[in-house]
Amino acid sequence: MSIAANNPELTSWVPVPANSDFPIQNLPFGIFQTKNEKPRVGVRIGDQVLDLKTLYVLGYLENLSFELSDFDNEFLNAMMKKGKKGTRELRNRISKLLRSDVNDLQKNEHHVAQVLIPVDQVEMRMPVQIGDYTDFYSSKEHATNVGIMFRDPANALLPNWLWIPVGYHGRASSVILSGVPVHRPKGQIKPQDDQPPIYEASRQVDFELEMAFITYDGKPLGDSISTEEADDYIFGLCLFNDWSARDIQKWEYVPLGPFLAKNFASSISAWIVTLDALEPYKVSTPDQDPEVLSYLKFEGERSYDIHLEVAIEPEGSAETTISRSNFKYMYWNMAQQLAHHTVNGCNVRCGDLMGSGTISGPTEDSYGSMLELAWKGTKPLKMKDGSERKFILDNDSVIMRGYCEKNGVRIGFGEVSSKILPAKK
């Protein structure tokens, strides 16, 4: 569907720096807090945060389906409860108010001073109260690389991978906001195949470059969401670093899959970019062979051209970009993931988070994890300060960024960044 707020010709009376992630065509939602005030809903425009609670109180959001409590809230969930129609109308109203050719708000300097807050004066908070979290495994390149490293290279993909958007249920309680540090996890590892396991801090902490989507309320238990309907149940996307402890994972994952190796932390970016804002950046999903089963078939362009990059910043040193990838490489798209998740009648709820799985591209510099980039530690990566990395060291920060660009418009996600601290004693 064409969204008026996506018009590349739109400009805002709010100054937007060149190459900003947040032009008027974006308008992502988040939760922010200022000194001596409670957390509340905001929208990012350039280097300013638009305070929706104050905007509502001043009467600029009349005749929409929202109440004050939807914006005077520490999470976006109440606002998202209004569904796709409600949030689309809200974004369109905000776009109109911020347009350079509309005077309703910009002519009232007293109101402008109340509703626009410089981003360096706010503290960002977790945007969503996440009820459940599912992580998929949807990059063919990533699954193939892992299969080559740990199984028979001639049969790198497991038999079900080309038929099913493989996934597992993760731990919502340890999903954290960008900027929150992570302590190196401890658990059982097995350094020597012919020796018993030992208990100690992970030696192989890794990142996983992912995107994640946030859902509206789904259908009742027992009903399914089709690929055709999927977009109506997806609010937006954020950057997602699904931290992993590879040595813990290798020992524990048989027979039930990831557990302690994954549930110690997953980091998300602060701003949720709506699916509507990403509409102009749709592209074709990679060819799928064999032909998928009926409930996974879809029409049209259902993948997104989102440029992604990962950098490592050693403490006290400059960051080094180690990967450049793209969300469009994913074999299984979000519509298929949501259709598969609910085909058995599983009910998704407002605020559920769905991780894409590691995003790896076709070239060595587009892989989405240290496991692949350093190829299980056999090809260390060199940092700008001369040091090398096989996995993430204590006090390293991992920084992920993402953006779309077309017709002179850049829609970005900001960044997700977190530092690995030493294991707790």
Per-residue pLDDT of the chain (425 residues; tens, 9 = 90+): 456 899 999 999 999 999 999 999 999 999 999 999 999 999 999 999 999 999 999 999 999 999 999 999 999 999 999 999 999 999 999 999 999 999 999 999 999 999 999 999 999 999 999 999 999 999 999 999 999 998 888 889 999 999 999 999 999 999 999 999 999 999 999 999 999 999 999 999 999 999 999 999 999 999 999 999 999 999 999 999 999 999 999 999 999 999 999 999 999 999 999 999 999 999 999 999 999 999 999 999 999 999 999 999 999 999 999 999 999 999 999 999 999 999 999 999 999 999 999 999 999 999 999 999 999 999 999 999 999 999 999 999 999 999 999 999 999 999 999 999 999 99
Q: Which residues of 387-424 are buried (b: 16+ CB within 10 A; e: fewer)?
A: eebbbbbeebbbbbbbbbeeeebbbbbbbbbbbbeeee
Per-domain boundaries in the chain: 4-125, 133-421
**What does each C-alpha distance from 145 to 55, 137, 376 come to in angstroms?**
50, 12, 10
- Distance CA(265)–CA(281), nearest Å, equals 30
- pLDDT recorded at residue 2: 53
- Which entry of 111, 142, 169, 341 is annotated as an active-site residue? 142
* 52 close to 61: Cβ distance less than 8 angstroms: yes
Predicted confidence at residue 150, as pLDDT, reads 87
Question: Hey, what are 212's tokens?
Answer: 């994640």
Domain at 133-421: CATH architecture: Alpha-Beta Complex (3.90)
Max intra-chain CA distance, the chain: 75
Q: What is the pLDDT of residue 4?
A: 87
| Residue 111 annotated in active site | no
Distance of CA 354 to the CA centre of its chain: 9
* 4-125 has CATH 1.10.357.10 classification: no
